[in-house]
Amino acid sequence: MQYWLSKKIGRMERLENNVLEKHPEKLEELKSQGYVRVVGENNHEPYKKPSKKASIKKAVKKVAKKVTKKKK
């Protein structure tokens, strides 16, 4: 589910992922009308994609722990 907000008119649009797959033009239409993707219905902060760096760092830490345990 994606939430899009038009700050000019204060309107919220909800798009389900299966609708976006069938009709990708709806996304472009919302962007052209000035809609901005937000976190949720009650949270109007701009949506940010989760960074992959954090998961990479966690994986490196796990490997480092395993290596140090094997040395002991």
Query: pLDDT tens digits for 9-65?
Result: 999 999 999 998 999 999 999 999 999 999 999 999 999 887 766 677 777 888 887
What would the 3-class secondary structure string for 13-35 be? EEECHHHHHHCCHHHHHHHHCCC
What value, to the nearest 5°, has the Cα angle with vertex 16 and ends 30 and 19? 75
Query: Residue 53 has what pLDDT?
Result: 67
Is the model more confident about 22 or about 68?
Answer: 22
The answer, yes or no, to whether residue 1 has pLDDT greater than 70, is yes
Q: What residues contact 41, with CB distance under 8 A and at least 6 apart?
A: 3, 12, 14
User: Quick one: pLDDT at residue 56?
Assistant: 73
pLDDT surpassing 90 at residue 71: no
Predicted model pTM: 0.65
CA 9 to chain centre: 24
* Domain boundaries, given as residue ranges, for the chain: 2-71
Tokens of 25: 């033009």
